Amino acid sequence: MKSIHPPSRRAAGLALGALLALCWGVASAQSAATIEVTHAYARATAPGQAAGGGYAQIRNAGTSADRLVAVQADVARTVELHTMSMDGDVMRMRQVEGIDLPAGQTVELKPGGLHMMFMGLKGPLKVGESFPATLKFEKAGEVKVTLKVEAAGARPHMMKH
């Protein structure tokens, strides 16, 4: 049997290891780029209003499914992910653990459906202003977005948490 680890081979092994580490770095950078967030906005809130909704179009341009698991924003004490459904004639919101993002698809967070809920607002969200938020994805990691504050719709406020 020949020598198993001649020095030259060992060096080659180390070089390969370094190359693999480099590839991992590139791979994770690419996976972050597979999530595209567009038209991120929040609804304006009245003074004293405790919570406000946030919306966006989230495209998973990657080849594997991902999941939005958390959102962080300095304007609110905490941010929850909600879904909305009709209960008789009352809109009800329910917290969800995450929002699934199938590969190659766009999921729209919109009024009346899935949305971000900014809980414990530190002040009113004013039309024309914008604020930063960080979206955390299971695979793609953190994606920073800016939400533009848009006028609250004429939708009646028959919502319950």
- Name the residues that contact Cu ion, by CB under 5 A: 82, 93, 117
DSSP letter for each residue of 67-99: EEEEEE-TTEEEEEEEEEEEETTEEEEEE-S-E
37 or 116: CB nearest Cu ion? 116
Please measure the distance between the N-terminal and C-terminal CA atoms of the chain and give it in whole angstroms.
72
Instruction: Indicate the residue among 6 and 112 with the shorter CB distance to Cu ion.
Output: 112
Nearer CB in complex with Cu ion: 43/82: 82
Q: Which is nearer to Cu ion, 109 or 117 (CB)?
A: 117
State the nearest-atom distance from the C-beta of 126 to Cu ion, in Å.
20
Residue tagged 């595209």 (tokens): 36
User: In the complex, what is the shortest distance from the CB of residue 128 to Cu ion, in angstroms, rounded to a whole number?
Assistant: 23
Helices then strands, counting H and E runs in the chain, come out as 1, 11
In the complex, minimum distance from the CB of residue 83 to Cu ion, in angstroms, rounded to a whole number: 8
140 three-state secondary structure: coil
CB of 31 to Cu ion, least distance (A): 29
